[in-house]
Amino acid sequence: MSRRGSTLPTRAHWLLLGLALLFSLVLFLYLLECAPQTDGNASLPGAVGESYSREYYQALLQEQEEHYQTRAASLKRQIAQLKQELQEVSEKMKSLQERRNVGARGIGYHGNGEQAPGDLLGFLHSQIEKAEVSVGAKLPSEYSLVPFESFTLMKVFQLEMGLTRHPEEKPVRKDKRDELVEVIEAGLEVLNNPDEEDEQENEEGPLGEKLIFNENDFIEGYYRTERDKGTQYELFFKKADLMEYRHVTLFRPFGPLMKVQSDVVDISRAIINIIMPLAQRTEAFTQFMQNFRDVCIHQDKRIHLTVVYFGKEGLSEVKSILESVTSESNFHNYTLVSLNEEFNRGRGLNVGARAWDKGEVLMFFCDVDIYFSAEFLNSCRLNAEPGRKVFYPVVFSLYNPAIVYANQDPPPPVEQQLVHKKDSGFWRDFGFGMTCQYQSDFLTIGGFDMEVKGWGGEDVHLYRKYLHSDLIVVRTPVPGLFHLWHEKHCADELTPEQYRMCIQSKAMSEASHSHLGMMVFREEIEMHLHKQAYRTNSEAAG
């Protein structure tokens, strides 16, 4: 034990020796740094017999100390400047991070109290809860509903028009363009960077690659603004090689966009039962079946047609038309119901809805004068949901082609008339006859009111029933749904209210305001042209 205490280990010995050498080196460097600076040819103080006084060395030390103080002060100023610059950079980074956090809260919001003040988050959530986004609101009348407006990558389809707005237009105002671009980008952010609760998390493509959506996958969108709450956006995306659609709901509560919903919508097996009440009008039915064959049989292929025919006159022709389509296209998914009674649209739709006995089905109430596209049928599927949503698309009603195309004899084919122009038609926002709803919702709500007789009133009554319920009513113009012009006859048996509605519809459906004006002032215009011609001839003769 004494031997272990008296002998120092070799490792410790060399460590102490190294520390001593290091201390000596530091001391030597300190002495060199503190030594007074001299010229290369000057003699060192105290050399070659020269002697210096004590005051000299004190002055020299004071000068050296001032030199180091000046240098230290300079370093302190540089350090302070660097600290200030670092603080400025840090504040900028913090500001950018806060902006990113705001964006992250807007798109993938989780309600984390650390992300923003609790009162602000509570307010934003209350805005969503007050708006009609997830649950329908009971409304007093058809005038209380806030309709949607629809848009694609290039165009907006809007109800409210005026001097600067058209039924179909490219967004001219920069704020509207930027808004729609931002919304589509936000929807893509939700799809491509899903949250844990989203259904499409980590979804892969057909080749096992990560599924990435881009703006070309955007199909259509709808938006509406509740003035005191915010703007709701419904977006639909689809890959060309996939059957499912992607649905994203966003809401702007007068602040950042907040994700409300992101789910997968599979409409690949959703059959639509098109129900049409009909009496006579076999020529129009022939034209309807041409559109039906092209869109429903050849393209969509997920359609059942139910025709409820009133009376005996024309019934055999309707049967012949259906049998002809069956033989040509091998199509058998139709039902013909014959009622030997006076025509009543509500009665026909009630009977047609109850004729289906194969379980839940999506129904589209359709008239014989309607022309629709395959894209509309998908819109019908995407915007109706049993127990939650019914779809009331706004039809684009075409004017009298004899007036619109007065300079062409004959008018162009129907397919060439399907354009959204002020002088070609209008959004029929007062019409509620074309609707997509599930059979269970229709039966639960009580169907059409059979006490309503004659023209038009039954549609409004059913519409009001849905407004008074807890279901969401999606009301928006759709580009793929047209009402073809036809001659209207307002019967004398109608009530004064029904007759007024019929005359109003007839007047609005005839021609645009400018074309009607030209017709009203035709004599004045012809007189003006006659005077102009007479004046020109007189001047030429003189």
pLDDT in tens, 177-223: 889 999 999 999 999 998 776 665 556 666 667 889 999 999 999 99
Amino acid 529: pLDDT: 87
Res. 368: pLDDT tops 80: yes
> Residue 272 and residue 353: Cα distance in Å, rounded?
12
Q: Evaluate whether 159 touches 394 at the Cβ level (below 8 Å).
A: yes
- b/e per residue 386-397 (b: at least 16 CB within 10 A): beebbbbbbbbb
Q: What is the mean pLDDT of residues 309-321?
A: 96
Query: Hey, what are 70's tokens?
Result: 């000046």
Which residue's entry shows tokens 């259509």? Answer: 220
C-alpha separations of 424 from 417, 419, 428 in Å: 8, 7, 13
Res. 113: pLDDT tops 60: no
The closest alpha carbon to 231, from 122, 132, 119, belongs to: 132
- At residue 414 the predicted structure's pLDDT band, cuts being 50, 70 and 90, is very high
3-state secondary structure 209-266: CECCCCHHHEEEEEEEEECCCEEEEEEEECCCCCCCEEEEEEEECCCCCEEEEEEEEC
Q: Evaluate whether 329 touches 297 at the Cβ level (below 8 Å).
A: yes
DSSP state of 351: H
> Residue 453 and residue 457: Cα distance in Å, rounded?
8
> Residue 231 and residue 128: Cα distance in Å, rounded?
10
Q: Evaluate whether 320 touches 281 at the Cβ level (below 8 Å).
A: no
Transcribe 126-144 into DSSP letters.
Answer: HHHHHSSSSS----SSTTS
Give CA 61 to chain center in angstroms: 79
Which residue's entry shows tokens 């639509």? Answer: 272
Transcribe 297-321 into DSSP letters.
Answer: IIII--EEEEEEEESSTTHHHHHHH
| φ, ψ dihedrals at 337, nearest 5° | -110, 125
What is the sign of the dihedral through the CA atoms of 203, 207, 213 and 217? negative
- At residue 47 the predicted structure's pLDDT band, cuts being 50, 70 and 90, is very low
Amino acid 247: pLDDT: 96
pLDDT, greater one: 492 or 304: 304
Average pLDDT of every residue of the chain: 82
Tens of pLDDT, residues 452-505 = 665 567 899 999 999 999 999 999 999 999 999 988 888 888 888 888 888 877
Q: What is the mean pLDDT of residues 423-445?
A: 94
Contacts of 416 (CB under 8 A, 6+ apart): none
N-term to C-term CA, the chain: 147
> Residue 131 and residue 197: Cα distance in Å, rounded?
22
**Overall pTM > 0.75:** no
Transcribe 272-301 into DSSP letters.
Answer: EEEEEEE-S-HHHHHHHHHHHIIIIIIII-
C-alpha separations of 148 from 18, 44, 53, 216, 225 in Å: 84, 96, 99, 22, 8
- b/e per residue 166-185 (b: at least 16 CB within 10 A): bbbeebeeeeeeebbeebbe
Establish whether the linkage from the previous residue to 410 is cis, with ω within 30° of 0: yes
Res. 437: pLDDT tops 60: yes
Q: Evaluate whether 142 touches 432 at the Cβ level (below 8 Å).
A: yes
Which residue's entry shows tokens 């410790």? Answer: 12
Res. 449: pLDDT tops 90: no
Q: Evaluate whether 497 touches 385 at the Cβ level (below 8 Å).
A: no
> Residue 419 and residue 425: Cα distance in Å, rounded?
8
Res. 7: pLDDT tops 50: no
Q: What is the mean pLDDT of residues 155-163?
A: 71
> Residue 332 and residue 343: Cα distance in Å, rounded?
26
Amino acid 110: pLDDT: 42
Amino acid 395: pLDDT: 96
